[in-house]
A and B are shown apart, each in its own frame.
Chain A
């Protein structure tokens, strides 16, 4: 079954770094309303997006920032970036409980990650997507809200055979669905790998127009899913007959696109679908950037439309509805299993675990 439980005690992408600034940003992650902003020295901070007084959202106007502090737009309760209330209207005494919950933040690879859980992350860091900030790559990105449970997006991304049908004319060609996959699960690292290597495939418009390749291509899709949030698709495209990558890892005859998704559950049936496309060619060509941005957003919106429909269907069905898994689902099944395990582990409160 599609995993619906949330995996707590994990890092999640809350926003792109460029979305977090000197104006408040509100995001709901795993049902927790979170306020994000930057202090005057540029540090991203995250705290509960509800005033302790009457629960007014601190991300909503007329709430506003004054220096590093956020002032509630309802009655003026004022909080520092550490979540501590520093001013209450018309009285000197500040109740001890007047404190917002704060969230650990890591800004990395253009993402602002927040830790959602009941314990501190300790030495645990979010997984990496270094291409998004590498000078050797040019990146376009976006985020589309999804009105569907996050497990549907995980299923979608782990099985790219749907490209042939849902994204024909953009990234899908017949060979995607026709080519067998290999799947690997590294239990120790908690990573799912799914690979599909097409030796001789039609070049879809997404790659033909961005790379200039006219004929058929060798197309590799190597998925690396770091549940619960980060999905990497290493895409290699080269004209048929081009040399393979060298033993030292260099691959000058191919075009490389790193497609990155961050799958952040918002509520039980809504999800933030962060997407980014980083390429190692035509780095300064704005037309290529515009084309890839428009094309990938179109593809993401095709997924959004399909998954929104699917959510409505599943919501109307009995809890234990029937589904059928086939060979193309091998990676998706592995992802579901890891997510279920993470959700079960995260659901154990520290005090309960200590008993």
Chain B
């Protein structure tokens, strides 16, 4: 199973981070649909776990997973 396989499961509280090929940038995707690029994985996790703060509003029907509590990495 790969990260991509796991990502196929819909309706779950899943965070995805893709290292953009040929760059030093990380592309973060929140389960709410918000996306953003980073150069620092610590800042990236702060943003992901800060959901919903700074994440774009999601459609009501997106899915109903609860937002996890932010935590330090």
Contacts and interface: CB of A to CB of B under 8 A. Distances in A.
**In the A-B complex, the 6 residue pairs with the closest CB atoms:** A180-B19, A187-B13, A184-B3, A193-B3, A183-B17, A195-B3
A334 interface: yes
Contacts of A333: 41-42, 45, 73
Interface of A: 180-189, 191, 193-195, 197, 220, 222, 224, 234, 325-327, 329-330, 333-334, 336-337, 340-341
Contacts of A222: 1-3
A333 B3 CA distance: 16
A189 B14 CA distance: 9
B58 to A, nearest CB: 16
11 contacts: A184-B7, A184-B16, A187-B12, A187-B15, A187-B31, A187-B65, A189-B12, A222-B3, A325-B41, A329-B41, A334-B73
Interface residues of B, number: 31
A181 B19 contact: yes
B1 A224 contact: yes
Interface in B5-23: 6-7, 9, 12-21
Contacts of B6: 184, 186, 191, 193
B53 interface: no
Contacts of A197: 2
Given A180-B20, A182-B17, 13 more contacts: A184-B3, A185-B14, A185-B15, A186-B12, A186-B13, A187-B65, A188-B13, A195-B2, A222-B1, A222-B2, A337-B49, A337-B71, A340-B72
B26 interface: yes
Contact of B1 (A181, A183, A234, A327): A234
Contacts of B15: 184-185, 187, 334
Contacts of B73: 333-334, 336-337
A174 to B, nearest CB: 16
A334 B7 CA distance: 16
A198 B41 CA distance: 22
Contacts of A185: 14-15
A193 B1 CA distance: 9
Contacts of B2: 182, 193, 195, 197, 220, 222, 234
B14 to A, nearest CB: 5
B24 A327 contact: yes
A326 B43 CA distance: 11
B8 to A, nearest CB: 11
A325 B1 contact: no
Given A330-B26, A336-B73, A182 B3 contact: yes
A191 B9 CA distance: 13
B71 A330 contact: no
